[in-house]
Chain A
């Protein structure tokens, strides 16, 4: 009995540690006072206030634009790359396979500086597009890795079996490969979407004037103090992320259940 309670206590402590900050943020988004120190009254005032803060709204829209565009493009490129790496033999394939991991493991700050120097060298003007390109650059390896794990030696046998049964290359890709790699594509895309959504470091180096993203905006107002409308907006963002995650989970588990029948 004693063990059971201590286990429970441990779980509760871990969850408090993980979720208390988020809870505080959500709680203070409903605070009518203008500081994050004293909870005065329950109100939706900061949610309504968001609309008036054009800087905040712009930053939010920029973030969405960057996240969506970079996710779509990096997912397409990453998926094709992963399939190519699995399917074809070419010189230095092993080397390329290990080079993919480098952008994932090197510190973000290094990647940020490198990208900035490349843009400066190429005399590219920094703007929201330079952020998008940067995000695509750091996202591709994640997608490749995620898709690659679904393509195993067993997949080769599936392809051969399909070929043996007379399937064209197009049919093989559509009917055999796609269903196999879809989970990898989805998890890769979800991952890079969230990475892009909250990226500060790389965006900081590659953002141009007027291309503030939400994380950058929040970071910049740190000195003057975070206003409660930021709390409100991040709560909305949190809600959106939760909805996406839950939907994905439901869809996946439904699919699994359907397959099990």
Chain B
């Protein structure tokens, strides 16, 4: 099941006015997975989605859905459905008419439509709203109608284009959970496009991070967070300290590097680095320990900013040599600005990167 490729993009390129937005893009998407295309706006992620749905033609390359070449198949005939960014609910139709629209277009028997529509509306918990018009619904309800309108078609793949962005924070959080649940329940492949990394991390089975029309890393959320492949990913996903370092020597199962002026530390890594190489190391704020007392192998610094955020306190600590290190701590002790503290790195949680 897991290894069955449902959508295959093969060297797909897209040109708008002589400019390539996507160039030689390849991606295999497996049946039943929740994959997120994550990137900042203008990176081409929506274009990829539109090429899968058929709303955009490819300039070159091939698109396969369920092993069939659909490169030249019209959007109306592809077995995928899209949930649009602003939902695109037809304004002059009721909830029921909106959900039934696709089936009517397919000339499904009216009795069958009735059954499927009420099932879909039930699934998204909108029973009782059948005869409302979209403008009478809240953002979250509109979102549900859009989802119902898509899944009622029983598509092989559901494409979601920044579908949660227009909702407020709290609603977005609860919709994230619901979407994930729904996807598990239906077993439909979800391809989700977003620029919000928290959404990507919490919902996806896999994330494809896209920058300038290219996949920079394709992996599980955990791996992307803990083992970013390059500086772009480390910086894009979550908070990170990206510190320049120099490889001093190779050691067993890793390297010894010098960073923050004269601080030496052993880092575990499977990648090969050369002696004397200039690299960058990535450390997440929560992976740095902070204490008021000096510990073995700790560095002294001064707190220049302290922000309390409920479950943790975010500190910015100035290290001699003009380095600002972000630290996030759940320690209850009060850290005040201008206070001297000691920070300590965990050599298991430092990721060395070449680029």
| Residues A166 and B106 in contact in the complex (CB < 8 Å), given A158-B90, A259-B133, A261-B131 | yes
Contact A161 B77 (CB under 8 A): no
Report if A41 contacts B (CB, 8 A). Answer: no
Interface string of B121-136 (1 = CB under 8 A from A): 0000000000101011
Within 8 A of B (CB), among A144-165: 154, 157-158, 160-165
Query: Which of B91, B131, B136, B149 sits near A165, CB closer than 8 Å?
Result: B149
Q: Which residue of B lies closest to A169 (CB)?
A: B76
Asked if A171 lies at the interface with its beta carbon under 8 angstroms from chain B, I say yes
B82 touches A161 (CB 8 A): yes
Query: Hey, which bits of chain A sit against chain B, CB under 8 A?
Result: 154, 157-158, 160-168, 171, 175-176, 179-180, 259-261
Distance, CA A46 to CA B90, complexed state (A): 53
Q: Is B84 positioned at the interface, with any CB of A under 8 Å from its CB?
A: yes
Chain B minimum-CB-distance residue to A165 = B102
List of 7 A-B pairs having minimum Cβ-Cβ separation, nearest first: A165-B102, A179-B92, A161-B88, A157-B88, A166-B105, A167-B105, A166-B76
Contact A160 B106, CB 8 Å, known A165-B153, A166-B76, A167-B101: no
Asked, given contacts A171-B105, A260-B136, whether A161 binds B84 with beta carbons under 8 Å apart, the answer is: yes
The contact string, 1 if C-beta is below 8 Å from chain A, for chain B 74-103, is 011100011010101111100000000110
Q: A168-B76, A168-B105, A260-B136 given as contacts; is B84 within 8 A of A162 (CB)?
A: no
Bound-state CA distance A261–B94 (Å) is 10
B residues contacting the other copy or chain, number (CB 8 A): 24
- B56 shortest CB reach to chain A, Å: 10
For B304, list chain A residues within 8 Å (CB): none
Determine if B55 is an interface residue (Cβ-Cβ < 8 Å). yes
Please indicate the chain B residues that have their CB under 8 angstroms from the CB of A261 in the complex.
Answer: 131
Chain A residues with CB under 8 Å of B91's CB are: 158, 179-180
Q: Is the CB of B90 within 8 A of A162?
A: yes
In the complex, which residues of chain B have a beta carbon less than 8 angstroms from the beta carbon of A260? 133, 136
CB distance from B148 to the nearest CB of A (A): 12
The yes or no answer to B57 lying at the interface (CB within 8 A) is no
Give the shortest distance, in Å, between B180 (CB) and chain A (any CB): 23
Q: Which residues on B sit within 8 Å (CB–CB) of A259?
A: 92, 133, 135
Alpha-carbon distance A13/B121, docked complex (angstroms): 56
Q: Which residues of B contact A165 (CB under 8 A)?
A: 81, 101-102, 105, 149, 153
Contacts A154-B86, A157-B88, A180-B92; A163 near B55 (Cβ below 8 A): yes
The total of interchain contacts (Cβ-Cβ below 8 angstroms) comes to 62
Q: For residue B18, give the distance in angstroms from its CB to the closest CB of chain A.
A: 16
From B55, B76, B133, name the one whose CB has the most chain A CB atoms within 10 angstroms.
B76
**B53 interface contact, C-beta 8 A:** yes
Q: Across the interface, do B102 and A166 meet the contact criterion of CB distance under 8 Å?
A: yes
Neighbouring B residues of A154 by C-beta, 8 Å? 86, 88
- Find the residue from A168, A180, A259 having the highest chain B CB count within 10 A: A259
B81 cross-chain contacts in A, Cβ below 8 A: 164-165
Given contacts A162-B90, A163-B76, 20 further A-B contacts (CB under 8 A): A160-B75, A160-B82, A160-B88, A161-B82, A162-B101, A163-B75, A164-B75, A164-B76, A165-B102, A165-B149, A166-B76, A166-B102, A167-B105, A175-B90, A179-B91, A259-B92, A259-B133, A259-B135, A260-B133, A260-B136
Interface pair B76/A158, CB less than 8 Å apart: no
For B86, the chain A residues whose CB sits under 8 A away are 154, 157
A166-B77 contact given A160-B84, A259-B92, A259-B133, CB 8 Å threshold: yes
CA separation between A121 and B136, bound complex, in Å?
Answer: 58
CB distance from B249 to the nearest CB of A (A): 58
Q: Which residues of B contact A163 (CB under 8 A)?
A: 55, 75-76
Q: Which residues of A contact B55 (CB under 8 A)?
A: 160, 163-164
Interfacial chain A residues near B88, Cβ < 8 Å: 154, 157-158, 160-161
Chain B residues with Cβ below 8 Å from A175 are 90, 101
A158 to B82, CA, bound (A): 12
A167 vs B107: C-alpha distance when bound (angstroms): 10
Given contacts A163-B55, A164-B75, A259-B133, contact A176 B90 (CB under 8 A): yes
Determine the chain B residues whose CB is within 8 A of the CB of A167 once the complex forms: 76, 101-102, 105
24 A-B pairs in the complex with CB atoms less than 8 angstroms apart: A157-B84, A157-B86, A158-B88, A160-B55, A160-B82, A160-B88, A161-B82, A161-B90, A162-B90, A162-B101, A162-B105, A163-B75, A164-B81, A165-B105, A166-B76, A166-B77, A166-B105, A167-B101, A167-B102, A168-B76, A171-B105, A179-B92, A180-B91, A259-B133
Chain B residues near A161 (CB-CB < 8 A): 82, 84, 88-90
Quote the shortest CB–CB distance from B40 to chain A (angstroms): 22
Distance in angstroms from B65 CB to nearest chain A CB is 14
Closest to B92 in A: A179
Report the minimum CB–CB distance from A178 to chain B (whole Å).
9
Residue of A nearest to B152 (CB): A165
A163 CA / B88 CA spacing, docked (Å):
12
B90 touches A164 (CB 8 A): no
Interface of chain B residues 22 through 77 with chain A (CB within 8 A): 53, 55, 75-77
Nearest Cβ on chain A to B73's Cβ, whole angstroms: 12
In the complex, chain A residues whose CB is within 8 Å of the CB of B153: 165-166
In angstroms, Cα B134 to Cα A180, docked, is: 14
Least CB separation from B99: chain A residue: A165
Assembled-state Cα–Cα distance A157/B77 (Å): 18
